[in-house]
Structure 1
């Protein structure tokens, strides 16, 4: 069985008000080409199809147009599960129609039996080539509804309930497979622990090599250990935006988003995964190929002092290829160190105006807000810059303001250790 695993499309996303329809259209054209060239008989989409629970008409058009375009392709099965950004009701509104096209949508576990999440997958000849356990994202209320009579500590809730759910769905999938030598795959949209790559070995309080807070990416609650997954041939995960294996297991993977979803990801390659899974008796064979997605737009984060940022912008302006008609659009985020008495926007205004037409600054971000506030310089902070602070930075300043401590004091650190995780749990 050969299929393509992808996730986290976030259709309708407008990162810093960038219109991303052109990116989505180009990706879908490319993805259909890959399906044809690689002769992939199935497509598995592991959640977060849309960016919001009420996607725009244009985002829905992109989604349905792409699915309709697969009718004449080698892809004979599509599995779509809901993510935390999706509305299960919206995804399942066309379920009956899509079922006719062998496009199976599972937006939520509400009202479903384990058997309702198990599907046969077919090859081009109409023969069954595999079984899929289509498990969507579970919100906390859904987790608790699955164990109404049991009292489980919050720290064990996710692992306990997911273990129970996957076990029950696996039992039904085994019944459906019967004695046929068919590969069995599963989906999931969740935070798995023990990731490789970008978050490998990082604690929630640490940062990645590219400055991303692990806490911002994976949260503090809900991490699911790889032990919850049953002994299937492949687990297709969504929720993490970069491609990764779980517990160094090549059979448990995040495909990552095909798009750049934040400037912290600007330099990371993005992929879809081409998976070949075979079952010969008790023996299984698995091969996974990472196919890098093309970029319609380019993204760049420029960091440093205001002078360093200015010099890098000037270098971009003077680059030989800048401004040509065929040059891709380049969106820029400026991450600068706040300097007393200097307005960053005024300081860089002329430099930004000199950028070629294909380049634009779409976001401003202060790199050291905690140190800035710790120096009690809040009165000099521009109100227009507040929107550039993330949840962690805002809550940090709120805690310090309420307690009256500085971030560098022992009391301030103790207050942050006590209260900041609570704020971030709420934000998550």
Structure 2
């Protein structure tokens, strides 16, 4: 039996308000061709199918076009919800999809045993089982207790996550004793190597306390949530597949993968990393305005899609005329290979005014709430004690939301 593991598609993602849907469309077309070519029996998608809880019509169309192609290929599919997904949106067609060997678990089931599914090969033979655990929210694991501290809640949620995985693992071993039991999860595991975007968005709150050794002994654990592909704890059978396309400039140099594994004689064998084609480049240009202008002018590529770029102009002194020149240049830029999504100045010998500070930060849609809070904290908290109190209050509010 051949299985593919992927995650974090984020259909509908926008980068500086630029739509990345064409990147996603080309990926799923490549994925369908790969499934057919390699005669894959089962595809596991470990969360974050969509980038928002209310995806656009266009993003939904890419998803349903993919399902149509996959069903035609006779490959079975298991999808779990991620923190970006709406369980209601994913679960809406669940009963119909189940008749077509597509199993969707958008949110935590009341009975966690319902998350344990048999995996059949193309001939209909049982080869494995999977504990398809979706992203677990605080409310799925425990109820708040009045007077309970933030740290107590963190530890209680960690214990709830561990208990959930132990329960589904035990049920899988008991119910499908003769075959390997795989796991799926969508969470931050402490010690995973993140991109800048992952670290800003996900390495806070309850899940940063979860260690890889708290998982039970699955034969393979297919994880999602972190966009950089990797093994955890040097264990070949515990992996993040990573996102299949670059979703932020911090991921621009990452090699994007999906993971193939095979089951033979009731064992997981032959784990392979399949490289996903890069359909477009994300580039950062840095230097003086003269250097930037020259680099942009001579830039060419042979990729399918236009390159998306961030520009950082480094100058010694603030020069209003140069700023106006840059604004005019980028406003009129009509490059055949490249689109500039964001540009900013940095001056070496100038105190930052409020306006300049704002101009050097990322656009608000690119910032996580924690980044905004941390910047405010640095500018306003007077003592370490006040920082600690404010930070605890902030995280309590963030978790309640």
- TM-score of the aligned structures, taking structure 1 as reference length: 0.80
Work out which of the residue numbers 96, 116, 119 in structure 2 matches 1:118. Answer: 116
- Secondary structure at the counterpart of residue 40 of structure 1: coil
CA contact (8 A) 2:2 2:41 kept: yes
Q: 1:273 to 1:379 in 2, by over 3 A?
A: closer
- Secondary structure at the counterpart of residue 340 of structure 2: strand
How far the C-alpha of 1:57 sits from its partner, in A, is 1.3
Segments of 5+ residues of structure 2 without an aligned counterpart are none
Is 2:252 the partner of 1:266? yes
CA distance in 2, matches of 1:297, 1:18: 13
Stretch of structure 1 that moved more, 93-102 or 347-356: 347-356
Provide the residue aligned with 1:187 in structure 2. 184
CA distance in 2, matches of 1:226, 1:72: 37
Deviation digits for residues 127-160 of structure 1, max 9, x if unmatched? 1111011100011111215999x99823313321
- Secondary structure at the counterpart of residue 120 of structure 1: strand
- Secondary structure at the counterpart of residue 93 of structure 2: helix
Provide the residue aligned with 1:399 in structure 2. 377
Q: 1:382 to 1:237 in 2, by over 3 A?
A: closer
Deviation digits for residues 153-172 of structure 1, max 9, x if unmatched? 23313321111111111122
Q: 1:40 to 1:355 in 2, by over 3 A?
A: same
Please give the residue correspondences for 1:210-249 in structure 2 after superposition, counting only pairs within 5 Å.
Answer: 214-223=199-208, 224-249=210-235
Provide the residue aligned with 1:174 in structure 2. 173
CA distance in 2, matches of 1:401, 1:358: 41
Provide the residue aligned with 2:127 in structure 1. 129
How far the C-alpha of 1:291 sits from its partner, in A, is 1.2
Segments of 5+ residues of structure 1 without an aligned counterpart are 200-207, 406-410
Stretch of structure 1 that moved more, 257-266 or 337-346: 337-346
Work out which of the residue numbers 341, 355, 372 in structure 2 matches 1:362. Answer: 341
Q: 1:133 to 1:396 in 2, by over 3 A?
A: closer
Q: 1:360 to 1:65 in 2, by over 3 A?
A: same
How far the C-alpha of 1:109 sits from its partner, in A, is 1.4
Is 2:314 the partner of 1:328? no
CA contact (8 A) 1:251 1:286 kept: no
CA distance in 2, matches of 1:241, 1:50: 14
- Secondary structure at the counterpart of residue 243 of structure 2: coil
How far the C-alpha of 1:86 sits from its partner, in A, is 0.6
Q: How large is the RMSD of aligned CA atoms in angstroms?
A: 3.3
Q: 1:381 to 1:79 in 2, by over 3 A?
A: same
Deviation digits for residues 327-354 of structure 1, max 9, x if unmatched? 6301101235585454875342455445
CA contact (8 A) 1:340 1:380 kept: no
CA distance in 2, matches of 1:337, 1:425: 39
How far the C-alpha of 1:356 sits from its partner, in A, is 2.2
Q: 1:337 to 1:388 in 2, by over 3 A?
A: farther
How far the C-alpha of 1:316 sits from its partner, in A, is 3.2
CA distance in 1, matches of 2:327, 2:256: 33
Please give the residue correspondences for 1:22-421 in structure 2 after superposition, counting only pairs within 5 Å.
Answer: 22-75=22-75, 77-111=76-110, 113-145=111-143, 153-178=152-177, 180=178, 182-195=179-192, 198-199=193-194, 214-223=199-208, 224-280=210-266, 284-304=267-287, 307=288, 310-319=290-299, 321=300, 328-336=305-313, 340-342=318-320, 346-349=324-327, 351-352=329-330, 353=332, 356-364=335-343, 375=351, 377-381=352-356, 388=363, 390=367, 391=369, 394-403=372-381, 419=390
CA distance in 2, matches of 1:41, 1:331: 36
Q: 1:288 to 1:158 in 2, by over 3 A?
A: farther
- TM-score of the aligned structures, taking structure 2 as reference length: 0.85
How many residue pairs are counted as aligned between the two chains? Answer: 391
How far the C-alpha of 1:385 sits from its partner, in A, is 5.8
